[in-house]
Amino acid sequence: MSYQLTTQKEREEIERAKDIVINSIAETMDVYGAAPSVGRLYATMYFENDPMTLDEMKDMLEMSKPSMSTGVRALQENGMVNRIWEKGSRKNKYAAEKDFFKSFIRFYCKRWEREYKENLQAIADSQAILKTIINNHNCEEAVRKESEQCYEQLEDSKKYYRWLERLVDSFYSHEIFELIPKENEGK
């Protein structure tokens, strides 16, 4: 009988240990633009060894199915949850991505790519307008100077966006891990 009590106490301690991490992930999920409930969903799935259906998640977390579906969709878009196909199952099942490096790369690189692509295009469009003003010989000198100043300021900002593009490429190619190795890699 004491063996069962000890085992029960240890199981409770395991759950307590999981809850500490689940609560921490839930509280920091705002970094990914998600609500704490979505963080709780991800962290709960992280500790599950088998893929789960929306119904299983709903029951485990006592959330509504629409909320669960919305949360899973957001996690999928961020590369933190994957849909798993299981032969013979008609329901979709989902599993948490357990490789935090992969999740980080998918999430941040997607956003950084959007940032540098949109801004480099905006700069190109703006510089084309400014170039027209700069090359207009009928333009007032003060307006031409202001256009040149804007043009050069934008030209200088392209250094950052090109750097960001190279940073993203280094994550996708995993070259970043040569500069900053994952723990215990290369040792």
Residue 91's domain comprises 2-98
Q: Is residue 6's pLDDT more than 80?
A: no
Which pLDDT tens digit goes with each residue over 129-166?
999 999 999 999 999 999 999 999 999 999 999 999 99
pTM above 0.85, yes or no: no
Residues 86 and 15 in one domain: yes
Closest CA to 72 of 163, 151, 61: 61
Burial of 130 (0-12, 13-18, 19+ CB in 10 A): buried
Percent of all residues in the chain with a pLDDT value above 70, rounded to a whole number: 96
Residues 7 and 29 in one domain: yes
Instruction: Quote the number of domains for the chain.
Output: 2
Percent of all residues in the chain with a pLDDT value above 90, rounded to a whole number: 73
- pLDDT-based confidence at 173, cuts 50/70/90? very high
Predicted confidence at residue 184, as pLDDT, reads: 75
Q: Is residue 186 part of a domain?
A: no
Predicted confidence at residue 164, as pLDDT, reads: 97
Residue 52's domain is classified under what CATH number?
1.10.10.10
Rounded to whole angstroms, what are the CA distances from 74 to 37, 61, 121, 142?
12, 17, 28, 50
CA-based R_g, the chain, Å: 25
Which pLDDT tens digit goes with each residue over 20-43?
999 999 999 888 888 899 999 999
More confident residue, 130 or 77: 130
Predicted confidence at residue 5, as pLDDT, reads: 62
Residues 142 and 93 in one domain: no
Predicted confidence at residue 90, as pLDDT, reads: 82
Q: Is residue 175 part of a domain?
A: yes
Residues 53 and 116 in one domain: no
For residue 75, the number of C-alpha atoms closer than 13 Å in the C-beta half-sphere is 29
